[in-house]
């Protein structure tokens, strides 16, 4: 089992020896410490997760899981991922930067403006400061901070 786990972790470019699945310390170190949830970076991360869960519960394009109402596409040598979901007249667009550098992505084929719902690089989510525009329109370039994502929507009655 240890050898298989070491082989598996090679794909993740893991530096050093991966945690031993047989060691009790690996188990105890992986448990969440709920005492940390009320302060600092932990509080901000929990708030982000709660906001994302709230959006998934309340927005039909995120709540209604239908493979015929989703389109995913990668860009910039697979370092940017866009996921477009829709339900009736409501749409959401996820744009994620999976690289350790800022990247720019330009919106295309938008018929009307989209509103920013979440920018994970905002300081309120422990980011360095978001640079995504409040509204996304045709040919709008978006600067994506390293390892971050933005979520835009259009056609929602509860947009910001």
Phi and psi at 105, nearest 5°, equal: -130, 140
Model confidence pLDDT, tens digit, residues 14-42: 777 778 888 899 899 888 888 888 888 99
List the beta strands (DSSP E) in the chain: 70-75, 80-87, 90-97, 103-106, 114-119, 135-136, 141-144, 148-154
Both structure tokens of 37: 């949830």
CA atoms within 13 A on the CB side of 79: 13
Domain range list for the chain: 2-31, 40-154
Both structure tokens of 158: 């509860």
Model confidence pLDDT, tens digit, residues 95-117: 999 999 999 999 888 888 999 99
Output the pTM of the full model. Answer: 0.81
CATH superfamily for 40-154 is: Golgi alpha-mannosidase II (2.60.40.1180)
Give strand pairing partners of 37: none
Residue 11 scores a pLDDT above 60: yes
């Amino acid at each position: 089992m240890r050898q298989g786990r070491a082989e598996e972790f090679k794909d993740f470019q893991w530096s050093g020896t991966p945690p031993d699945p047989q060691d009790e310390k690996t188990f105890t170190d992986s448990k969440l410490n709920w005492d940390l949830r009320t302060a600092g970076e932990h509080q901000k991360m929990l708030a982000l997760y709660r906001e994302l869960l709230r959006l998934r519960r309340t927005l039909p394009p995120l709540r209604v899981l239908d493979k015929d109402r989703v389109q995913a596409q990668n860009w910039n040598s697979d370092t940017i991922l866009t996921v477009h979901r829709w339900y009736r007249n409501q749409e959401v667009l996820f744009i994620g930067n999976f690289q350790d550098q800022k990247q720019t992505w330009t919106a295309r084929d938008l018929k009307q403006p989209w509103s920013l719902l979440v920018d994970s690089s905002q300081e309120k989510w422990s980011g360095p400061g978001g640079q995504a525009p409040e509204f996304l329109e045709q040919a709008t370039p978006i600067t994506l901070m390293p390892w971050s994502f933005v979520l835009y929507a259009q056609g929602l009655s509860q947009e910001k």
